[in-house]
C-alpha cells in the first residue's frame, strides 16, 4: 500500500535558473544534484523543515513538456505551502523580488496569499489559525 508522497515533478526551462529562484528567493535547500549519463541531470529541492518531500526540477525537453512550463496548475495553485507568519513571509518574498499575486488576507482557515514562481506557476501560501 502507498505510504507517503516523496517527489513532485516541476518542469522548468532551465534547471540552473529554477534552482537559483527556489533556493535564493524561496529558501529551499538542494537535496540532490547529480548527473545520470551525459545529459541527464537530476535536481531536487526540499524545504529546510521537510526534507522527505522533494520537488524535482525537471528540464522540459519535448514540445509537450515545454508547453507545461509555468502552467502545471493551469490558473490554480500548483504548489501550496504552510508558513508561520503570512505577513512576514509576504514581506520577505516581496523583498526577494518574487511576484505577489494576492496580498495576505484573512480567510476562515487562516491568513493566505499567493505568489508566482519564475515561470508563472501559482504558489499558495497559508498561515493556519491557532
pLDDT tens, the chain, 130 aa long: 999 999 999 999 999 999 999 999 999 999 999 998 888 899 999 999 999 999 999 999 999 999 999 999 888 899 999 999 999 999 999 999 999 999 999 999 999 999 999 999 999 999 988 7
User: Which pLDDT value is given to residue 74?
Assistant: 86
For residue 46, the tally of other CB atoms under 10 A from its CB is: 16
In Å, what is the CA distance from 125 to each residue of 9, 13, 78, 79, 90? 19, 24, 11, 9, 9
How far is the C-alpha of 97 from the C-alpha of 114, rounded, in Å?
14
- What is the structure's pLDDT at 129? 80
Query: What is the CATH code of the structural domain delimited by 71-130?
Result: 3.10.180.10
Q: Where are the domains of the chain?
A: 1-69, 71-130
Interacting residues of 122 by C-beta distance below 8 A, sequence separation 6+? 73, 75, 76, 77, 78, 101, 114, 115, 116
Block residue for cell numbers 515545454: 66
Fold agreement between 1-69 and 71-130:
yes
pLDDT of residue 73: 87
The CATH number of 1-69 is which of 3.40.50.2300, 1.10.10.10, 3.10.180.10, 3.40.710.10?
3.10.180.10
Amino acid at each position: 500500500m502507498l505510504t507517503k508522497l516523496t517527489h513532485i515533478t516541476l518542469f522548468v526551462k532551465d534547471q540552473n535558473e529554477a534552482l537559483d529562484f527556489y533556493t535564493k528567493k524561496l529558501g529551499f535547500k538542494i537535496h540532490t544534484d547529480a548527473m545520470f549519463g551525459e545529459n541527464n541531470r537530476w535536481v531536487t529541492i526540499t524545504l529546510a523543515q521537510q526534507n522527505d518531500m522533494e520537488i524535482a526540477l525537471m528540464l522540459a525537453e519535448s514540445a509537450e513538456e515545454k508547453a507545461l512550463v509555468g502552467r502545471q496548475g493551469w490558473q490554480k495553485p500548483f504548489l501550496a505551502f504552510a508558513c508561520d507568519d503570512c505577513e512576514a513571509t509576504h514581506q520577505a518574498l516581496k523583498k526577494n523580488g518574487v511576484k505577489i499575486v494576492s496580498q495576505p488576507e484573512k480567510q476562515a482557515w487562516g491568513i493566505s496569499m499567493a505568489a508566482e514562481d519564475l515561470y508563472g506557476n501559482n504558489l499558495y501560501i497559508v498561515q493556519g489559525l491557532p
